[in-house]
Each structure stands twice: as C-alpha cells, then as structure tokens.
Amino acid sequence: MSRRRDAPLPVRNGLGPARVRLRGGAVLVELASRFGEAAAAKVLGGEVVTADGTVVTAGTVLPPNACVYLYRDLPDEIPVPFDVPVLHRDEALVVVDKPHFLATMPRGAHVAETVLVRMRRTLDLPELSPAHRLDRLTAGVLLLTTRAEVRGAYQTMFARGEVEKTYLARADVDAALAFPLTVRSRILKERSRLQAYEAPGEPNAETEVEHLGDGLYRLTPRTGRTHQLRVHMASLGLPIHGDSLYPEVLDVPPGDFSTPLRLLAQRVAFDDPLTGVRREFVSRRTV
C-alpha cells in the first residue's frame, strides 16, 4: 500500500488513506487475498473508494492498474515519550525540534508515532508534509510545509542541495587524526540491508568533519546519502556514540529509549524559495 497527494479521501486523524494498485478483477476478492479479511470487511463496510471517490461494493470489478483507497488499520505502537517543540510557524512552514526515536513520517511499524502524524493532529494542519527527512534516531531541526501548493518549492530546494545543514555529534577522540578533514566515498543502501555501506567507485557522498574538542564534532554534509554521517564517522574509526547500526548492528529492545544516538541536526539555513529572504533555524537541544 502507498499514498498519493491527490487521494479522494481526506486526511483522518493525522493520516491520509492508503492507495492500492490492483491487478484487475473483483476488488473484494483481490483485497481479501492480498490483505486478508480486514480489507474485505472494509469493502463490505463501504470504506473503500476508487480514484474518483466512487464507493467500492462487493460486486465492483476494476481493470488492471486501477487504484482504490482506504484507511489502514494502525499497528500497535510503543509511545515515544518525548515532545516535539515548535521552533517556528508561519503560513508556509512549521519548523520543529525533532526528538530522538521519533520517525519523520509513517513507514513500516512507525505510523502514529511519527512527527508528521503528531503535528497534523496537534496543529490541525491536515496538509502538513515534511520538506525533508531526518532519520528516526537523529534529533534536531526539521522543516514541514503547511500546504500542498508550497510543498514542491521547499522539497526541491532540499533535493538540489541548496540548504546549508550543520550537525553536531559525539564520538571518541583519535589523536592520530588531523582535523578538519573531508571524507568522500561511494555509499550504497539496499532495501534488504539495515546498514548503508561504502563501495568502490565514484564518490557520491562528502562530509566535512571538524573536531571542536572533547569528542564534540561538527559535521557538514555536502551531499545527502542515507546514513551518510554515521557511515563516514564509522569509517574514520569514530562511530557516533549511541549508534546501534555502525560499525555493528546491535539488538536494541523495542521501547528502549535509554541510549540515544548522539547526532543532532543543529542548524539549517537557506534562501526562502517563496520570498528570497535568508532564513536560519537552530535546534535548542544539546548533543
């Protein structure tokens, strides 16, 4: 199941509907075979609609690649016991100080316990959407757009690398390393692997690393690969404190919030794509 912006059902309780692309035939039979009795019950209850908003019935037959929409059943989730302070709010943007352990947006087992769903509910902004993402374990400055019509401008700004991003991290000290230094490598991430990894070939990831003293590092990414900062610090022999993935995958029990990743998205700065005004937002958290 996936979601799209022009779904015929509204956001409900902070969540948009799921979109299901069909193989073709009787909708009731296909949904039951793919997703079980609960999905079939949604058809019988009139809770499934086509792309134009028509309610699907037990006898509805649709061609291959047609889509239907329905609200998903929420998984049982362990509450993340940390607040999401708002740093800034205007007609286009909401800027929050994301805590550790809270995912940016719904994915997999994390649905309601995400920044997006929490803030949609808290602020009553059903069109709220992230302009970029932070890893679930990373804390710090996160920008969300308030309306669909402004979303593209801010997302494009991030995608083009037009945003200055500064991170702070805690790690061990290696007297043999001379700072500042620049790490460049080729980082790949596969769906089947928890870890991203470095591979031979043309570099696609670059990070400037400065040691500010006492194991505090300022990290300035010039690219935005998945887990880039964590991979690059581990490659230096300085894995970020609290990292449960690098250099080794650790078994952390669900609901264990005792050891946060000591990585903070401390600052973002950019020329606003709507107004041209220079903007800067800084986290109030410590690392």
The CATH code of the domain that includes 157 is 3.30.2350.10
With respect to residue 205, please indicate whether it lies within any of the assigned structural domains. yes
pLDDT tens sequence across 128-166: 999 999 999 999 999 999 999 999 999 999 999 999 999
**The pLDDT value given to residue 76:** 85
SS3 98: strand
Res. 1: pLDDT tops 70: no
- Residue 240 neighbours by CB distance under 10 Å: 25
Which alpha helices (H) appear in 133-212, and where do they start and end?
A: 148-159
Q: Where are the beta strands (DSSP E) in the chain?
A: 18-21, 25-26, 49-50, 61-62, 67-70, 86-89, 93-98, 129-130, 139-145, 164-170, 181-188, 197-199, 205-213, 216-221, 263-271, 278-282
Asked if 121 and 226 sit in the same domain, the reply is yes
pLDDT tens sequence across 239-283: 999 999 999 999 999 899 999 999 999 999 999 999 999 999 999
With respect to residue 10, please indicate whether it lies within any of the assigned structural domains. no
Across 217-222, average pLDDT:
98
Q: How confident is the model at residue 108 (pLDDT cuts 50, 70, 90)?
A: confident
With respect to residue 181, please indicate whether it lies within any of the assigned structural domains. yes
- Pairing between β-strand 139-145 and β-strand 263-271 as defined by DSSP bridges: parallel
Across 8-23, average pLDDT:
92
Q: Is the peptide bond before 64 cis (omega within 30 degrees of 0)?
A: no
Asked if 98 and 226 sit in the same domain, the reply is yes
pLDDT-above-90 percentage for the chain: 91
Across 177-197, average pLDDT:
96
With respect to residue 201, please indicate whether it lies within any of the assigned structural domains. yes
pLDDT tens sequence across 56-79: 999 999 999 999 999 988 888 999
**The pLDDT value given to residue 2:** 44
With respect to residue 1, please indicate whether it lies within any of the assigned structural domains. no
Asked if 197 and 224 sit in the same domain, the reply is yes
Asked if 162 and 229 sit in the same domain, the reply is yes
Which one of 38, 70, 102 terminates a domain? 70
Asked if 62 and 153 sit in the same domain, the reply is no
Asked if 144 and 225 sit in the same domain, the reply is yes
| Per-chain mean pLDDT for the chain | 95
Look at the chain and report how many structural domains it folds into.
2
Q: What is the domain extent for residue 143?
A: 86-282
What is the chain's alpha carbon radius of gyration, rounded to the nearest angstrom? 21
Asked if 146 and 44 sit in the same domain, the reply is no
Asked if 90 and 50 sit in the same domain, the reply is no
Q: Which two tokens stand for residue 269?
A: 């700065």
SS3 197: strand
Asked if 60 and 104 sit in the same domain, the reply is no
With respect to residue 140, please indicate whether it lies within any of the assigned structural domains. yes
Asked if 158 and 38 sit in the same domain, the reply is no
Alpha carbon dihedral 136, 197, 159, 20, in 10-degree steps, equals -70
Q: How confident is the model at residue 4 (pLDDT cuts 50, 70, 90)?
A: very low
Nearest to 26 by CA among 65, 63, 51: 63
Packing angle between helix 37-44 and helix 27-35, nearest 10 degrees?
150
Across 38-60, average pLDDT:
95
Asked if 142 and 254 sit in the same domain, the reply is yes
Which one of 44, 70, 96 terminates a domain? 70
Asked if 144 and 217 sit in the same domain, the reply is yes
Which one of 10, 45, 70 terminates a domain? 70
Angle at CA of residue 178, ends 172 and 182, nearest 5°? 90
With respect to residue 66, please indicate whether it lies within any of the assigned structural domains. yes
Q: How far apart are CA 97 and CA 99, in angstroms?
A: 6
Angle at CA of residue 112, ends 111 and 113, nearest 5°? 90
Output the pTM of the full model.
Answer: 0.87
With respect to residue 3, please indicate whether it lies within any of the assigned structural domains. no
Res. 233: pLDDT tops 70: yes
